[in-house]
Amino acid sequence: MTPKFPIARGRRLRRTTAIRKMVQETKLAPDDFILPLFVCPGNKVRTEVGSMPGVYRLSVDELVKEAKEAEKLGVGGVMLFGLPPSKDEAGSGAWAEDGIVQQGFRALKQETKNLVLFADTCLCEYTSHGHCGVIERRKDGGRDIVDVQNDPTLAILAKTAVSQAKSGADVIAPSDMMDGRVGAIRAALDEHGFAHVPILSYAAKYASAFYGPFRDAADSAPEAGSDRRAYQMDPANAREALREIELDLAEGADAIMVKPALSYLDIIAKARERFDVPIAAYHVSGEYAAIMAAAKNGWLDRDRAMMEALISIRRAGADWILTYFAKEASKLL
């Protein structure tokens, strides 16, 4: 006898945990994750970032401990961000042979075996003005204007990439959003014997409000009266992101990134449909902090919200997810 209200096929396939797991369309694994880490001078330094509970500024010795724990959990890689002992207008700490990130890569290369080491290649962490490139100051009707100079920045980014590769970085990831940076970096890496080192380009990086906690962690906010909207992307634009990705791939990028992730799932999905290359997405500091703050107040379940956010990024088409939740998510998986 046919039931009056037949149980839908989907309902039957959701009945038990074991069945749900078998029919799950999108899966996460620890090696999908890249853990961002902040490295600073000193010894035995482990200072929690106020706006990012559970995230720390780490001296090199503590960085090694954190990375080895991530490696043990099966996390795919780590990306280093530097807090230099001093900053200047040129951001010279970015390419210094004894720079803090360079020290970190050398230590990780010796102490880890299976982690992929990603280098964030940018100047904002090292410049006194907090911008991602060389700046020019000028007056406009009595106003002080800060202009980031695209072409003069390219040589510095290329120099920084070579320095990072020399110190042990496995992947160079330029995040500055200067036009032509991928081509300049690819040429410099090839010239210095690093043709084997791939480039993961932050190809679609938006001028987002969700970067605030990161800027606290890295002390990298642009100086008062200026921002990065002249070179980072307008959140209103989607087609432009695809053009930026196409240009970076034409210049030699091996993989691309969309940043942030949750507010730009549509961009990830559009990129996945159009480009047959690895796609990374950065689950950024503000997205992390929002979940942590809500969980602290008892407004949501941290672990469920964390995993739902990460699976949505994967479902949209990302192959790799940069996330401060990499260790916690890997423990659950």
Q: Which of 27, 87, 139, 259 is catalytic?
A: 259
Q: How many CB atoms lie within 10 A of CB 147?
A: 16
- Residue position matching structure tokens 């930026």: 244
Chain centroid to CA 139: how far?
A: 34
In this structure, are residues 77 and 115 in contact, taking their beta carbons and an 8 Å threshold?
yes
- Per-residue pLDDT, 66: 98
Query: Residue 21 is encoded by which pair of tokens?
Result: 């797991």
- Per-residue pLDDT at 10 exceeds 60: yes
Query: Residue 128 is encoded by which pair of tokens?
Result: 């006194």
Active site residue 205: yes
Query: pLDDT tens digits, residue range 289-323?
Result: 999 999 999 999 999 999 999 999 999 999 999 99
Identify which of 191, 180, 115 has the alpha carbon closest to the alpha carbon of residue 152: 180
Q: Which of 205, 270, 296, 327 is catalytic?
A: 205
- Domains of the chain in sequence order: 27-332 (3.20.20.70)
Query: pLDDT tens digits, residue range 238-269?
Result: 999 999 999 999 999 999 999 999 999 999 99
Chain centroid to CA 72: how far?
A: 21
My answer on whether omega of the bond before 85 falls inside 30° of 0, hence cis, is no
- Supply the pTM of this predicted model: 0.93
d(CA 286, CA 301) in angstroms, rounded, equals 17
Identify which of 118, 30, 34 has the alpha carbon closest to the alpha carbon of residue 74: 30
Active site residue 4: no
Chain centroid to CA 240: how far?
A: 20
